[in-house]
């Protein structure tokens, strides 16, 4: 019987077609000069990406989108944004991909350039007999001879009009280096662009998946937004260490960590500890896949979780209700009223939080109703905004609360500065919470407060109330400045 010989190129072709991971290994040295370290998570990510692409190739409805949160230097962009689009061509030559990044150059163009370099190498041609079309072959947009394409887009920029894809990839929609300076408005616009503009670029909305890869940078960053508003999403979150309180997702992947490490060779403990010492927030975002450090930011909320939600005592030395007011129904900022007290041992208790998004009339009615429930012996602290309009509103509010003790406070300094005295007491364990349905929302807001969180109304109200408790008596200041002091 005559034997059929199989060339090396044919063998490589069959192996690579069957496995994105094998494709990554085979073409690694085409684009990356450094010797690879094949940590377990690389094959895992390859297999997950391969699954969603194969569903598209088969024309089957997608089962889920993918969110991938892994530390920098974990090969995520090489797998998803560089290798996967041109691997997909080995199954469906007409496969089209749009890859969106936070900036067109140099990040987006560089990822596209590396992807293009693979297709242009001799090995790719020998294995798959596929090259690029001469009439569309640029670093940011190239097309193969069968009509398959890879297009680079800019997050927040113009939608790639007229272009539709079989796979949408969002790679670092927010620049990690400038994340601390990004406003909530910028984040909201990024979320809107991904959810609306980019989503409209699908060939078939029931089939085409989206893959988001990034580090966690903000509470309401695209990962947070997508997890809250999306459906059928598989979330892969792999912190650099599993022993610091950052969750691993899916949880069964915890068993694959080696000595609590995701990648001991490329991210050893001593290196991670050094990074953490420089900036705890940056470490949490990039290596913990969390918008805030595990124990909290300015407020170490683990103090609350460690037996600091208790039954309050029957009596207190002092009590008050502090309000941070907003005036938007159904969206925007919240109005929050925090009831606080000091017990006989000097501990601070958060007894109750009333919070909602209300128009002015409803808000004022709720403040009045809450005052009646608290009783006349509970002083009311209201923030007085600057300018003449702030004075007028304060005067109106005091009049509306006739019969109650009302104090209007004009804040000074930044929100962070005003919150620091209360944070100091929380972090040393001197603040307790009475158990209530509001506990989790209060703790969650404190946890992310100094990372420019989406909402800070409860923190502002509590900080204002604490400041009122411990403000220096003006008469004492007069005495200190008098001639009685030598």
Alpha-carbon dihedral angle through residues 321, 322, 324, 329, given to the nearest 10 degrees: 0
- In which band, very low, low, confident or very high, does the pLDDT at 397 lie, cut at 50, 70 and 90? confident
Q: At what angle do helices 20-31 and 8-18 cross, to 10 degrees?
A: 120
Runs of H (alpha helix) within 109-158: 109-120, 122-128
How far, in Å, CA of 310 to CA of 287, rounded? 34
Task: Give the residue-averaged pLDDT of 153-168.
Answer: 84
Which whole-number Å values give the CA distances from 419 to 39, 219, 353, in the listed order? 43, 19, 17
Q: What angle do CA 465, 352, 431 make, to 5 degrees?
A: 60
Q: How confident is the model at residue 5 (pLDDT cuts 50, 70, 90)?
A: low
7-16 mean pLDDT: 94
Q: How far apart are CA 404 and CA 166, in angstroms?
A: 64
Q: Would you state the pLDDT for residue 105?
A: 61
Distances from the Cα of 77 to the Cα of 99, 107, 169, 214, 215, angstroms: 11, 10, 10, 9, 12
* Residue with more model confidence, 142 or 301: 142
Residue 413: what pLDDT? 78
- How many CA atoms does the CB half-sphere of 45 hold within 13 Å? 26
Strand partners of residue 260: none
pTM above 0.85, yes or no: no
The average confidence (pLDDT) of the chain is 87
**88 near 57, Cβ under 8 Å?**
yes
Region 302-469: CATH code:
3.30.420.280
Q: Rg of the Cα trace of the chain?
A: 28
Q: DSSP assignment, residue 195?
A: I
CATH match of 8-237 with 1.20.120: no
| 370 contacts 354 by C-beta, under 8 angstroms | yes
Question: CB 105: neighbour CB atoms within 10 A?
Answer: 12
DSSP 249-277: BSGGGGGG-BTTBS-TTTS-HHHHHHHHH
* Tens-place pLDDT, residues 83-124: 999 999 999 999 999 999 987 567 889 999 999 999 999 999
Q: Smallest Cα–Cα separation from 75: which of 210, 329, 320, 266?
A: 266
SS3 180: helix
**Residue 376 · residue 404 · CB < 8 Å:** yes
Nearest to 124 by CA among 23, 42, 19: 23
Tokens of 401: 């609360």
Cα(369)–Cα(342) distance, rounded to whole angstroms? 23
pLDDT in tens, 35-93: 999 999 999 999 999 999 999 999 999 999 999 999 999 999 999 999 999 999 999 99
CA atoms within 13 A on the CB side of 163: 24
Q: What is the pLDDT of residues 250-260, one digit of tens each?
A: 999 999 999 99
Average pLDDT over residues 174-178: 77
Strand, helix or coil at 287?
helix
- Would you state the pLDDT for residue 3? 47
- The residue ranges of every structural domain in the chain are 8-237, 302-469
The CA-based angle 431-435-439, given to 5 degrees, is 75
Alpha-carbon distance values, 255 to 252, 265, 289 (Å): 6, 18, 18
In contact, 446 and 459? CB cutoff 8 Å: yes
- With bands split at pLDDT 50, 70 and 90, how would you rate the model's confidence at 161? low
- Reported as a single tens digit per residue, the pLDDT across 13-37 is 999 999 999 999 999 999 999 999 9
CA 156 to chain centre: 17
Tokens standing for residue 128: 């798959």
pLDDT grade for 416, boundaries at 50, 70 and 90: confident
Percent of the chain with pLDDT over 90: 55
pLDDT computed for residue 89 by the predictor: 98
């Amino acid at each position: 019987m005559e034997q059929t010989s199989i060339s090396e190129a044919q063998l490589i072709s069959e192996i690579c077609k069957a496995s994105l991971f094998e494709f990554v290994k085979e073409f690694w040295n085409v684009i990356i000069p450094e010797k690879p370290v094949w940590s377990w998570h690389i094959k895992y990510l390859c297999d997950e990406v391969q699954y969603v692409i194969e569903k598209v190739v088969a024309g089957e409805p997608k089962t889920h989108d993918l969110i991938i949160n892994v530390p920098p230097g974990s090969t995520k962009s090489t797998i998803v944004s560089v290798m996967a689009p041109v691997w997909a061509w080995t199954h469906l030559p007409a496969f089209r991909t749009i890859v969106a990044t936070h900036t067109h150059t140099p990040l987006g163009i560089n990822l596209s350039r590396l992807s293009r370099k693979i297709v242009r190498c001799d090995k790719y041609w020998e294995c798959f007999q596929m090259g690029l079309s001469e009439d569309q072959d640029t670093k940011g947009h190239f097309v193969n001879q069968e009509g398959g394409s890879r297009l680079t887009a800019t997050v927040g920029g113009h939608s790639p009009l007229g272009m539709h894809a079989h796979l949408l990839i969002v790679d670092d929609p927010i620049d990690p280096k400038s994340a601390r300076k990004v406003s909530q408005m910028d984040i909201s616009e990024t979320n809107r662009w991904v959810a609306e503009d980019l989503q409209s670029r699908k060939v078939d909305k029931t089939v085409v998946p989206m893959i988001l890869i990034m580090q966690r940078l903000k509470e309401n960053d695209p990962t947070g937004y997508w997890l809250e508003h999306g459906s059928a999403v598989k979330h892969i979150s792999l912190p650099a260490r599993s022993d610091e309180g950052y969750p691993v997702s899916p949880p069964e992947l915890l068993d694959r960590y080696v000595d609590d490490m995701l990648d001991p060779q490329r991210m050893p403990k001593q290196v991670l500890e050094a990074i953490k010492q420089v900036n705890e927030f940056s470490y949490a975002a990039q290596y913990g896949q969390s918008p805030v450090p595990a124990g909290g930011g300015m407020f170490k909320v683990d103090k609350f979780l460690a037996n600091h939600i208790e039954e309050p005592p029957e009596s207190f030395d002092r009590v008050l209700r502090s309000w941070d007011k907003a005036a938007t129904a159904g969206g925007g900022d919240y109005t929050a009223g925090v009831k606080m007290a000091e017990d006989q041992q000097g501990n601070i208790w958060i007894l109750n939080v009333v919070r909602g998004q209300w128009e002015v009339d409803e808000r004022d009615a709720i403040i009045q109703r809450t005052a009646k429930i608290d009783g006349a012996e509970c002083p009311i602290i209201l923030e007085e905004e600057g300018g003449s309009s702030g004075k007028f509103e304060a005067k109106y509010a005091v009049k509306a609360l006739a019969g109650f003790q009302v104090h209007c406070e004009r804040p000074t300094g930044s929100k962070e500065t005003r919150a620091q005295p209360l944070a100091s007491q929380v972090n040393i364990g001197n603040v307790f919470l009475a158990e209530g349905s509001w506990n989790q929302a209060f703790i969650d807001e404190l946890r992310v407060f100094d990372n420019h969180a989406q909402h800070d109304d409860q923190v502002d109200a509590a900080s204002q109330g604490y400041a009122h408790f411990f403000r220096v008596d003006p008469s004492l200041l007069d005495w200190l400045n008098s001639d009685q002091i030598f």
